[in-house]
Amino acid sequence: MDSSQLLGITTFTYLFSTLLYVAIFVFKAERLEKAATAFTVIALLIQTAGIALRWVESYQMGIGHAPLTNMYESVVFFAWTIIALYLIIEWKFKTRMIGAFAVPFAFLAMAYASFSTDISKSISPLVPALQSNWLIAHVVTCFIGYAAFAVAAGLGAMYLLKDKSGNNSLLERLPPLKVIDDITHKTMVFGFIWLSAGIITGAVWANSAWGTYWSWDPKETWSLITWFIYALTLHARYTRGWDGTRIAWLALIGFISVIFTYYGVNFLLSGLHSYGSN
Amino acid sequence: MNNRSQVWKFFSSVQLAIFTLSAISLTSIIGTIVPQDRSFAFYVEEYGEVTARFFQVLDIPDMYTSWWFLTLLGLLSANLIVCSIDRFPLAWKQVTLDQTSLSKDRLEKMAYTHVIRNASSTLATTLENALKKGGWKIAKKETKDGVITAAQKYGWSRTGVYIVHASILVIFAGAIVGHFFGFKGSVLIPETKDTDKVYASKTQAPLALGFTVRCDKFDIEFYDNGMPKEYTSRLTVLENGKEVLVKDIEVNHPLQYRGMTFYQSSYEGYRDFLITLTSTTDKSTKTFIAPFQQQIKWEGKDITMGIVNAEALRDRVVRMKVWIKSSQNQPITIMVDPQKPYSLEENGLPYTVSVKQMYATGLQVAKDPGVVLVYIGCFLMMVGLYIAFFMSHRRIWILTSTGESTDLLIAGTTNKNKLGFEKTFTELLQSITNTNG
């Protein structure tokens, strides 16, 4: 058994998790509730084992480094963080309805990582610039932020869906609008703090590698744009009392910016972060 | 006066914040699409003459330091400063407010209230002690409604948002300090050579260091697949010709000296070679630069040497054929691996020889006294964000009115995290119902 097999299995287990959560939501299959959670926890454990094994394998190859260094590894970690965060939210807010809106992100991420021909799955050694203790701190903080924004976008979509369709019996089972709004906000606050930490660790790293903490390279600039979008969202809520639909839309717009920062910049623009694109 | 307050209002408004943040975000996109800091010719070729001129007028090729972008950043700073000055006193008033001067009416309208009639005379004290134990700050006052015990916690958390705003200003201040009192430059030092100046990044103007840096050695290590593994330079700092510091630098591990930092950033290979001879008797060494297939002489030692041939794998030299001769001996010709010492004693020469391709190390040199401020700002931002989002100003009042019976009015409020406060409030009430009966 090697790490790519485990991570391949993870893709299908997340697909199955998605189906279970959608079944709970659409068919009111209450008997499946515990099974969905249990299955997702197991899937997360398999993925954790896969990531850990990939780390071990890199040491066996003599080029040991944390599995957070290229597009493939980052997408895998992104999926991992989304599931971990979702399970925490499920446990904290005692609702499984969010699953159908959050778990698919993890499945899509894993499917992209496994089946895309644009990205290489091989474990490759680190170029000198990436050999730093800041690597783990920077990548982990950024991706916790990204994952939180993904979940917030799922919640935003859920809010809009429920808000638009009025007295649909299917959507009645979703948490009350006020609750969805509250969780969306909290998730965005959580993401904002981690994104801030991600930008800061990136700046400190850049300064220790190149002597410039900020060079306006496209990745940096886009992360700042994303940061501004969420800063605006939080200000609109605190000072103007925005909530509901408008915040839900901002959660979606913010996530588009996240996706562009994470993915679009690597493939459409050039810059210092080019290691991420293969 | 009216004018002044209009201007003040404008600069403290959330609308201005929304405008500047949106404007900075939207205009920033330009610089991520149009490559920055290229020559005029590049833009002409890429976008055509007219667009290139248009770019030049608007400073697009260097937009992040253009007058209009800096103006936007300035507006953001002014907005942050004015709105903080505008709002901070109100927040601070909430922190320092005498919490015991509230009327019964006000307390009854609080978000969380609970009334206990015919309470035991010690109940208020029990509550007070429980709160004290939980770290609450207590103030007490006799009023016309009875005795008010006011407890509060984390009042200063109201300053969190101002800490975040201030942290952004501190980071900007750091950037300004760096701009005016620091520099960024680069220099290429060939192995065995030294320099006492570097060249400014944008203008290429020479900048005197005030000391000398020598590159003793540059090395590239490769992975098996041919990817570069590490670039290493051995740098020696010299003050007035005296060696004061020797350090091996790598990417991510720079050399710091007198407020300046030297970063490993690039390299250049030469067609020249370095031949190092180490005496087997006194271990003294001497290094010679040998251009490919040229003889060089060690003056006064009667030794002539040269590189006859070299084998390269891609762009790196993997084996070299070195030729050494002194008048007493036959000429020696040996194949050597880079940097591996070979003894020449069998051939009658009391030396070991080692050979490598000659490189120049490319260094980025930065002096930025503003970095400290930037880091302080970053730290403040994280602390401020944590306080602003996760800590709340919690207040609980106990109004004890003693008439025919002792009645307690317990009221509470929080500015954030209602769920958390609710839990604390109910736990507090539960603790007394337990002790009460």
pLDDT in tens, B232-268: 999 999 999 899 999 999 998 999 999 999 999 989 9
Task: Give the DSSP H or E segment for B365.
Answer: strand B351-367
Task: Report chain B residues whose CB lies below 8 A from the CB of A270.
Answer: 35
A140 and A251 together in one domain:
yes
Report the pLDDT averaged over residues A70-74: 89
- The beta strands (E) that lie in B61-205 are given as 112-116, 137-143, 146-153, 183-190, 194-200
pLDDT in tens, B54-102: 999 999 999 999 999 999 999 999 999 999 898 899 889 988 888 888 8
B67 and B146 together in one domain:
no
Range of the domain at B404: 97-154+392-436
Q: How many A/B residue pairs have CB atoms within 8 Å? A: 98
B209 and B67 together in one domain:
no
A79 and A154 together in one domain:
no
Alpha helix ranges (H) inside B145-273 = 160-181
Is pLDDT of A277 > 60? no
pTM of the model: 0.89
Domain end among B73, B93, B113: B93
B56 and B121 together in one domain:
no
Partnered with residue B357 across adjacent β-strands are B273
Task: Report chain A residues whose CB lies below 8 A from the CB of B33.
Answer: 269
B259 and B303 together in one domain:
no
In chain A, the number of structural domains is 2
Check if A26 contacts B (Cβ < 8 Å). Answer: no
Cβ contact A138:A201 at 8 Å? yes
Name the residue among A212, A216, A225 with its Cβ closest to that of B36: A216
The full DSSP string for B57-68 is HTTGGGGGGSHH
Report the pLDDT averaged over residues B187-196: 93
* Band of residue B226 on the pLDDT scale cut at 50, 70, 90: confident
Whether residue B383 is contained in a domain is answered as no
Alpha helix ranges (H) inside chain A = 3-26, 33-60, 71-93, 99-115, 134-164, 169-172, 177-210, 218-240, 245-259, 265-268
Check if A1 contacts B (Cβ < 8 Å). Answer: no
Domain end among B314, B332, B357: B357
Cα distances (Å, whole numbers) of residue B341 to A98, B141, B321, B332: 67, 88, 14, 15
Report the pLDDT averaged over residues B138-163: 90
Nearest to B91 by CA among B162, B153, B152: B162
Q: Side chain identity at B37, as an amino acid letter? A: D
Contact B32 A224 (CB under 8 A): no
Token pair for residue B260?
């300046």
Range of the domain at A89: 1-126
Contact B385 A127 (CB under 8 A): no
In chain B, the number of structural domains is 4
Give A207 to chain B, closest Cα distance, Å. 9
Cβ contact B395:B151 at 8 Å? yes
Cα distances (Å, whole numbers) of residue A230 to A148, A191, A270, B159, B364: 12, 9, 25, 20, 35
What pLDDT is recorded for position A275?
52
Residue-wise burial string across A88-120, b where 16 or more C-beta atoms lie within 10 A, e elsewhere: ebbeebebbbbbbbbbbbbbbbbbbbbeeeebe
Check if B19 contacts A (Cβ < 8 Å). Answer: no
Q: Domain containing A116 — which CATH number?
A: 1.20.120
How far apart (Å, rounded) are the C-alpha atoms in residues B428 and A105?
42
Name the residue among A131, A200, A240 with its Cβ closest to that of B252: A131
Cβ contact B346:B172 at 8 Å? no
How far apart (Å, rounded) are the C-alpha atoms in residues B246 and B239?
12
Give the sheet arrangement for strand B303-313, strand by strand.
B296-298, B303-313, B316-326, B332-336
Is pLDDT of B112 > 50? yes
* Band of residue A157 on the pLDDT scale cut at 50, 70, 90: very high
